[in-house]
Amino acid sequence: MGRVSDVAPHTHSATAPHSSHLALLPLQGLERVSSILLDKMSNYDIDVFMDIFKAIQGLCPGLRDYQGKVGKEEDPENIDMAYRVVADHIRTLTFAITDGAMPSNEGRGYVLRRILRRAVRYGGEILKAPEGFFHQLVDVVVEVMADGFPELRKNPAAVKEVLKEEEATFSRTLKKGVAELEKRCKKLDAGGALGGADAFTMFDTYGFPLDLTVLMCEEKGFTVRRAIRRNCCALLRHNSDACPPSQVDTEGYEAKMEEQKKMSQAAGKFSRGGTVVMEAEQTDALKNKMGVPPTDDSPKYVWDSAAASGAPHAATLKAVIDTGKVFMDVVDGAVELVGLCLDSTCAYAEAGGQVADVGTISGPDGASFEVSDVQKFGAYVLHIGKVTSGSFKVGAAVTLALDYGRRALIAQNHTSTHMLNLALRDALGGECDQRGSLCDMDKLRFDFAYGKPLTEAELAATQAGVNRQIDAALTIHTQVVGLDGAKAINGLRAVFGEQYPDPVRVVTVGGDGVQAMIDAPTKDEWKAYSTEFCGGTHIGNSKEASKFALLSEEGLGRGVRRVVGVTGEKAAAAFATAAALAAEAEKAAALGGKELEAAVAELVKPLEEGAVMPADAKIALRNKVNDLKKKLVEASKAGGKANAEAAKKEAEALAAANAGKPFVVALLEVEADVKVVEAAMTVLAAALPEAALLVLGAGKTAAAKGVVPAALQPKLKANEWVNAALQECGGKGGGKPASAQGAARDPSNVKAAEAAARKMAEEALA
């Protein structure tokens, strides 16, 4: 294979996350065959890469051609290696993001983020590429590879948007991080080692992954202590012999990372007064030692969503387990928290973003158990809670009664997430792959792949799309069908990366039913209905949701957005709030002066206090309030000009009345701010150049300006004079003996300020 194996580390995309459609691994084998057939010494010499190299060169002014050099001796500046890194990484990222993966802080997303950051750094530091170059290479990847992988043409603009935002963020991080690493390395002796704590700070504070810190230290002639050698090997995929030299300390980085993980886990732990879990050992014991069959949870679908009711479910208690994973024969209220495993259940165990049911299990002799959570472990459903009266013995006949009123609210929100998924696609004009969801009795939350914030119009269109489906009173159809047949349904939506069973449960909102879709899967009309794989509990008809309000939209990370909505009475209340505030804004538009000012202040309060209303209505209200604020500013400017002219006339009269006097203390009658006071002072000072002058004004605040000619300054200084006056209003001034000015928030004592200024001048100039 010639020099195929001589490429720089990381240049292959083997570190990329698994991609269900566009996996690159088979492609690498094809490229190696191509290099042989084309009589090339390396994969990177074939035409696919050469086209990408030309695009890279076109973005980097003055960059020489790619020459295929390898190693420090041939390529001391690492230019060809940087070419390969950038080309390989833009290809990996274009494929992965097209297929639904996104850069993030965890899992496969973090792998993508590291790949991108490595490429951006090589491009910027070695190829001298301008900031923002990397995302521009998506076009050439699509151009050279889309014939073989047509899905690349799906939405290259969205891929570029994700990379552009991520690239910009890292460029800022890189500048700060490089400066910080330089500072830390300067403290090291020649050939020294960066400590684990320092490496962790570079990661935790500056976003530098460990492999980047290691690489940059090596380039500077430093190492990173053996403390983190194992991690660095795993991250760089090097043989350990290639790692930094053996230099002590095995705590540093790993200890800090472990400490952070524990803190994160403690902060993120879901609290329900403790928890009961079963792991493989316990589920195996249930099956093989205790002979407990899998829990039959099919009765969870038997209920009346419209009436929010369901029959109590009779079952047999098969096992009891406590928080210590210990099985018990009998349990009573003395045990704080336990899990009851029944042979069958009508309860829904938390899954797929839908929260668990709650209810009560009744047993013999008045025994009662409050179910606060339901979880599924393997094939077994565990009802978690506390015995509130009596005791329960394994083998007893029990009855489970659920809170169906609560479940009905959850089901309304769950079905609405399906309708929301469809509405988003229609409003945004393309697929917005689901990234997660949460449905409880209060709200629904939906995360999806999209590269920018939704506009007011897009929010309104999405909300309207859900309400159209609700108003259409669409029947919700469910059916368990073969996985392959279900996947063929036109418009069917599934969560990227999710593994679905075969057969799978399909839920569709509207249409002629799941079977009709299976029988004719390619019909265009199916795209008009929400069709998804789902094991959750749903309402029977979309009208049961009553109303939908989309309350908020925000970004979670690069390329992932989150919307939160409510249904039913909560949605109706949100629309009512929006309507009332919109009406108040319309009334305010007809007002002026202080009335408008008071009305704007009242409208700002609900915006600052988080009034519950549709997101598009909130944006519209905020825009209206901003318009009203502009109206106030314009009115204030106009009023200020009028007041300034009136103040000048007052000053002219004052100058005429006080000609020849050693000082003038004037309190303007017109409403005055600092600018109005200055306008009056300009007139007075021109008319009375030899007098000490102090002008006071009162408006929303108190304002003062003083001027003292040089001949009078030994006796009276302007800065001290202004301060003496404004102290009466709780303020102070600043300036020099010749000229000073100031303001105070409280204008109510401006008369006292006038008296204080007059007294000081009389005493000084007597």
Confidence class of residue 48 from pLDDT cuts 50, 70 and 90?
A: confident
**Distance, CA of 506 to CA of 128 (rounded, Å):** 53
| Common-topology check for domains 280-402 and 658-765 | no
Supply the mean pLDDT for the chain.
84
Query: Above 90 in pLDDT, residue 259?
Result: no
**In the prediction, which pLDDT does 157 show?**
85
Confidence class of residue 1 from pLDDT cuts 50, 70 and 90?
A: very low
Task: Give whichever of 182-186, 244-248, 727-731 has the largest mean pLDDT.
Answer: 727-731
Instruction: Decide: 252 and 228 in contact? Cβ < 8 Å.
Output: yes
Closest to 225 in 3D by CA, of 205, 197, 206, 258 = 197
Domain 408-568's class? Answer: alpha beta
pTM: 0.62
**Least confident segment among 160-169, 246-255, 485-494:** 246-255
Residue 244 backbone phi and psi in degrees, to 5? -55, 155
User: What mean pLDDT is predicted for residues 226-252?
Assistant: 39
CATH architecture of 658-765: Roll (3.10)
Confidence class of residue 312 from pLDDT cuts 50, 70 and 90?
A: very high
Confidence class of residue 207 from pLDDT cuts 50, 70 and 90?
A: low
10 Å Cβ neighbour count for 185?
16
Instruction: Name which residue leads in pLDDT, 259 or 661.
Output: 661
User: What does the domain layout of the chain look like in residue ranges?
Assistant: 4-173, 188-269, 280-402, 408-568, 572-635, 658-765
Domain 280-402's class? Answer: mainly beta
Closest to 300 in 3D by CA, of 310, 292, 290, 308 = 310
pLDDT digits (tens, 9 = 90+) for 97-153: 888 788 876 677 878 888 988 898 888 888 998 888 999 999 999 998 888 888 888
Instruction: Name which residue leads in pLDDT, 155 or 306.
Output: 306
User: What mean pLDDT is predicted for residues 321-343?
Assistant: 95
**Coil, strand, or helix at residue 224?**
strand
Return the structure tokens found at 107.
Answer: 């899992």
pLDDT digits (tens, 9 = 90+) for 357-376: 999 999 999 999 999 999 99
Half-sphere exposure of 89 (CA within 13 A, CB side): 29
**In the prediction, which pLDDT does 36 show?**
59
Interstrand relation of 504-509 and 476-481 (parallel, antiparallel or unpaired): antiparallel
Q: What residues contact 654, with CB distance under 8 A and at least 6 apart?
A: 664, 666, 684
**In the prediction, which pLDDT does 477 show?**
97
pLDDT digits (tens, 9 = 90+) for 386-400: 999 999 999 999 999
- The residue assigned the tokens 């993980």 is 261
**In the prediction, which pLDDT does 672 show?**
80
Query: Above 80 in pLDDT, residue 205?
Result: no
Query: Above 60 in pLDDT, residue 333?
Result: yes
Residue 467 backbone phi and psi in degrees, to 5? -65, -30
Confidence class of residue 30 from pLDDT cuts 50, 70 and 90?
A: low
From residue 415, alpha-carbon distances to 8, 347, 469, 601 in Å are 51, 18, 11, 39
**In the prediction, which pLDDT does 38 show?**
60
pLDDT digits (tens, 9 = 90+) for 505-535: 999 999 999 999 999 999 999 999 999 999 9
Q: What residues contact 368, with CB distance under 8 A and at least 6 apart?
A: 360, 361, 362, 387, 388, 389, 390
**In the prediction, which pLDDT does 224 show?**
60
Q: What residues contact 624, with CB distance under 8 A and at least 6 apart?
A: 582, 585, 589, 603
**Coil, strand, or helix at residue 21?**
coil
**Distance, CA of 512 to CA of 309 (rounded, Å):** 26
Q: What residues contact 535, with CB distance under 8 A and at least 6 apart?
A: 351, 352, 505
10 Å Cβ neighbour count for 642?
13
**Distance, CA of 615 to CA of 66 (rounded, Å):** 51
Query: Above 60 in pLDDT, residue 250?
Result: no
Query: Above 60 in pLDDT, residue 600?
Result: yes
